Structure 1
Amino acid sequence: MSTPEFLTGTRLVRSTYAPEDVTYLLREIQAQFVSVEEKERLIQSGERHYGQLLSPEQPPRPEYQALFERALHEGAPQLARHVAGLARVVHEEVRIRRRVNSAIVLVSLARGGTPIGVLVTRALRSLYGEEVHHYGVSIVRDHGIDGVALDFIRARHTDGSVIFLDGWTGKGVIAAELRRSVKTYNATRGSALQGELFVVSDPGGAAARCATRLDYLVPNAMLGATVAGLVSRTVLPGPAGDLHGSAFLAQLAAHDVTRHFVDTVSLHFPGQAPPEGNRLSGQDVYKAAQTFLHDVQHHAGPRPVNHVKPGVGEATRVLLRRAPEVLILRDPHAPEVQHLLSLAQERQVPVQVWPGVMPYSACALIRSVEPDP
């Protein structure tokens, strides 16, 4: 099918994924970077939204890259089982929804969800022989999912075949943003997309479907562009009618492990589908997560809820690209937090241990930046 007229002339961002693994529905931009400190000041002062700002990404230190390789080697079998379990949930869900034998359409939330989307795509093909189309699409807190990208997808596929994927949940902000923005999109387009989020790890109890509630290290959380096709974090569009944007970070090509990651995990897919993944409501998990957020306000002092980032994946993002105040761990000896300790040492971030209190393995707090006088 030809490209819809509204995307004619749009240059989609390049990536180092194989073309059959994913299509990023992101407009390629020339990145204009600001430092982490300046970004934090602009965000916290309200001058700019985080979805308008990018900070430069540096190559990982050799020691940190070695931690990633170790986490990938040791964690690939577990992640492969969970991906296969999530693929089964997706397969069953789409079988219920669709009226005809149409292809499955995976929409991963770029960019953190895209490596998982690639893995689920491969699992659906190898375990079920499914025809799968996979798109990486931007979603930005307070602004929702990219409606232009959804227009593109709906011009090619049926609504009932679309499944939204991410890697993990933290507080559940993105899951709520997805539900809200898809509901708004449906109301304006007369469409029937289901804004439920499917994830591998759901320690926040916020996703509709997951493979596990365990807060563990999904290895791609340790890196940024170098495990996501050399694609930057996504940013909001300029003129109305544009796709959300992203930059191709060619300067990091020597450190790219995108295909290495997905190829390594794919080798561990089971020969047959495992039992169906976790379909529980997650209400008890969600309540425990909300109680913990209140505990943080009590023990660490009042702060905006957006400055509290629970879960291994979210804590990793804070230490990589925000201004962290403190790292809180349930067990500093747990294997899933060793990379966090390395990052905290590198950035001189204090570490606190809250044993027996946390439903998460880790939580990072963002430091409040003093406004300019």
Structure 2
Amino acid sequence: MKPLDPPGSFDPADVTLLLQDVTGRVAERPTDCREREIQAGRHYSEDLPIEQVPSPAYMQVFDQLMQTQVPRVAEYTGVLTRLVLERFRQPVLVSLVRAGTPCGALMTRYARLRLGIEVPHYGVSIIRGKGFDANAISYILARHPGQTLVFVDGWTGKGMITRQLRESCDAYNAGHGGAIAPILAVLADPAHSTDLYATREDFINPSCCLNSTICGLISRTVHNTALVGPEDFHGVRVYREFAPLDQTARYLDAVTAQFVPQEGAILSRLAALEREDRTPDWRGMTAVERIGVHFGISDINRIKPSIGETTRVLLRRVPDRVLVREANHPDTAHILLLARERGVPVEVYPDMPYLCCGLIADRRGGTE
């Protein structure tokens, strides 16, 4: 098994992607067809949606977010990196592909440039219902014996990946005699499901607004036994045809340029966080259950809270509606634009700790 080479459009100094390239071999299918089959029991990781190019209007919103939000991302990156390095003497960052990878790359840069510390960083697949790629984890442990794996993601939604990570670590330890702990570090933890975070605010990070063109031109990960054997890394599609639209380097470089200007804010927020009780209370999941009761949704997999998850619903699922906590919060501008472009109803629902929440349409009966 070899890492993806090159690692999409990421700089190899920023990350090693433990993935195999299945471009041209994995099916890419229409969203409505996939939605019906997923809700009928087919696993979402067996194929991919057809990735769409963002509209010019949407890219204008993205450009505005790049102007306004990058300093905040730099601040939170510095805080999270310092928290991790204060707690763990020799961490290895293991970002959860896809959303975790830009975050892990920025943490690696911050540690190198601001603290003079080289922190290894790998990107590894984790799939809800299947777990993380055990072959990738074994690859990392063989190269970094005695070091602590710190799993990195961009944000928490309702906390499902937090739970999946715990289950994955337990299964890996039972099968391999290991002692991996489910340590999860995120920039934003609106789910209140981890104690390693820079904020619990549901804030807008430009990296959650695009698909492959903000994540090194790679798809979300694929686990299909026709493509991925028992000794293989999980698969990924590389969208080389989108290279002219790629924003990955632009985003990472823009955030990196703000590390020095934001250092005062980083140290101030770090000091405040260290005085807080950061014990997870899972209030995000409580809110999701309340939303399910209110809207008559028994399957919580159809409820996707947080800016990041709502964006994913609008980009690659079949939405029923979008809930927003406030009618015109500036951080939800791209959500409202996507909803208008796709004809998705938007409803104000103030009783949640998230700025927004996407509800996936019920397709179990076919074409509701």
TM bracket, shorter-chain basis: over 0.9
In structure 2, the partner of 1:295 is: 290
In structure 1, the partner of 2:71 is: 77
Task: Give the partner amino acid of 1:53.
Answer: D
Once residues 280 and 195 of structure 2 are traced to their aligned partners in structure 1, the CA distance between those partners, rounded to angstroms, is: 11
Task: Give the partner amino acid of 2:12.
Answer: P
Q: Given the alignment of the two structures, is residue 281 of structure 1 paired with residue 278 of structure 2, yes or no?
A: yes
In structure 2, the partner of 1:263 is: 253
Q: 2:312 aligns with which of 310, 313, 317?
A: 317
Q: Is the 8 A contact 2:194 2:280 kept in 1?
A: no
In structure 2, the partner of 1:101 is: none
Once residues 13 and 28 of structure 1 are traced to their aligned partners in structure 2, the CA distance between those partners, rounded to angstroms, is: 10
Cα offsets for 1:316-340 (capped at 9, x unmatched): 1000100000000001211110100
Q: Identity of aligned pairs, percent?
A: 39
Once residues 135 and 364 of structure 1 are traced to their aligned partners in structure 2, the CA distance between those partners, rounded to angstroms, is: 30
Task: Give the superposition deviation at 1:11.
Answer: 5.7
Q: Is the 8 A contact 2:332 2:355 kept in 1?
A: yes
Task: Give the superposition deviation at 1:32.
Answer: 1.7
Task: Give the superposition deviation at 1:208.
Answer: 3.2
Q: Could you tell which deviates more after superposition, 186-195 or 196-205?
A: 186-195
5+ long unaligned stretches in structure 2: none
Cα offsets for 1:205-252 (capped at 9, x unmatched): 012310011011111100010001100110115221211100111111
For residues 12 and 330 of structure 1, do their structure 2 counterparts lie closer, same or farther at Cα, with a shift above 3 Å needed? same
Q: 1:354 aligns with which of 349, 358, 364?
A: 349
In structure 1, the partner of 2:46 is: 52
Name the TM-score, length of structure 2 as normaliser: 0.92
Q: Is the 8 A contact 2:149 2:183 kept in 1?
A: no
For residues 346 and 173 of structure 1, do their structure 2 counterparts lie closer, same or farther at Cα, with a shift above 3 Å needed? same
For residues 12 and 181 of structure 1, do their structure 2 counterparts lie closer, same or farther at Cα, with a shift above 3 Å needed? farther
Q: Given the alignment of the two structures, is residue 366 of structure 1 paired with residue 360 of structure 2, yes or no?
A: yes
In structure 1, the partner of 2:126 is: 139
Q: How many residues are treated as equivalent by the alignment? A: 355
Cα offsets for 1:33-71 (capped at 9, x unmatched): 01101110110111x201112011111111101111111
Q: CA RMSD, aligned part only?
A: 1.8
Task: Give the partner amino acid of 2:188.
Answer: S
Q: Is the 8 A contact 1:111 1:233 kept in 2?
A: yes
Q: 2:333 aligns with which of 327, 334, 338?
A: 338
Task: Give the partner amino acid of 1:74.
Answer: T
Q: Given the alignment of the two structures, is residue 171 of structure 1 paired with residue 165 of structure 2, yes or no?
A: no
Residue correspondence of structure 1 range 162-311 to structure 2 within 5 A: 162-237=149-224, 238-269=228-259, 270-271=262-263, 274-275=267-268, 276=270, 278=273, 280-284=277-281, 286-287=282-283, 289-311=284-306
Task: Give the superposition deviation at 1:14.
Answer: 4.0
For residues 317 and 11 of structure 1, do their structure 2 counterparts lie closer, same or farther at Cα, with a shift above 3 Å needed? closer
5+ long unaligned stretches in structure 1: 1-6, 99-103
Name the TM-score, length of structure 1 as normaliser: 0.91
Name the SS of the counterpart of 1:115 in structure 2. Answer: helix
Q: Given the alignment of the two structures, is residue 122 of structure 1 paired with residue 109 of structure 2, yes or no?
A: yes
